[in-house]
């Protein structure tokens, strides 16, 4: 069966406490609204993740928790999703268990935008907060997924979706 996965940029974070370490920044009120909204939107679109992998940063993990609640699945923290290189992300994808049908990766810019452009067949100037990039690959095994056989199937973000 061909492979499908999503990248989710963390929801809008708060800058109310500039003394916090980057990893410790929480979501702001808009982020707390967009996270569950986008998780529900994914369900409505038939995008149902069965594996959640998140950056350990508070804002990414909290965004993943909204999806965890919506889809009733656990989250795995992956340090490589916190400003790791595209090759680290590709390693995570290529080493998924074959039983996984729709993983979701929660992370940060600029890597989400860069890697989406490397994998996809369309150029994204920016993946906004709580943006979701949906990919489909013709690969039959996770180990075979790469930029040569993967395309962007769709791109969703709160401001766009709320207007529909």
What is the mean predicted confidence (pLDDT) over 113-128? 92
Q: For residue range 123-150, what is the model confidence (pLDDT) as tens digits? A: 999 999 999 999 999 999 999 999 999 9
Q: For residue range 50-80, what is the model confidence (pLDDT) as tens digits? A: 999 999 999 999 999 999 999 999 999 999 9
Prediction pTM value: 0.96
At 122 the pLDDT is 86
Distance CA 120, CA 36 (A): 26
At 164 the pLDDT is 65
R_g over Cα of the chain: 15
Which domains, ranges and CATH numbers included, belong to the chain?
A: 3-163 (3.40.50.1240)
Residue 105 near residue 53, CB atoms below 8 Å: yes
Residue 3 near residue 145, CB atoms below 8 Å: yes
Distance CA 102, CA 146 (A): 16
């Amino acid at each position: 069966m061909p492979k499908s996965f999503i990248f989710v940029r963390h929801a809008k974070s708060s800058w109310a406490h500039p003394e916090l370490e980057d990893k410790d920044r929480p979501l702001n009120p808009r982020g707390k609204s967009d996270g569950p909204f986008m998780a529900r939107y994914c369900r409505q679109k038939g995008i149902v993740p069965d594996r959640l992998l998140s950056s350990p940063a508070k804002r990414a993990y909290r965004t993943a928790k909204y999806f965890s609640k919506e889809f009733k699945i656990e989250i795995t923290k992956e340090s490589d999703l916190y400003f790791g290189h595209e090759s680290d992300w590709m390693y995570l994808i290529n080493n998924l268990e074959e039983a996984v049908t729709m993983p979701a990766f929660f992370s940060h810019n600029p890597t989400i935008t860069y890697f989406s452009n490397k994998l996809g067949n369309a150029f994204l100037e920016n993946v906004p907060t709580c943006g979701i990039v949906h990919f489909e690959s013709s690969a039959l095994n996770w180990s075979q997924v790469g930029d040569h056989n993967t395309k962007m199937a769709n791109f969703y973000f709160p401001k766009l979706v709320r207007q529909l």
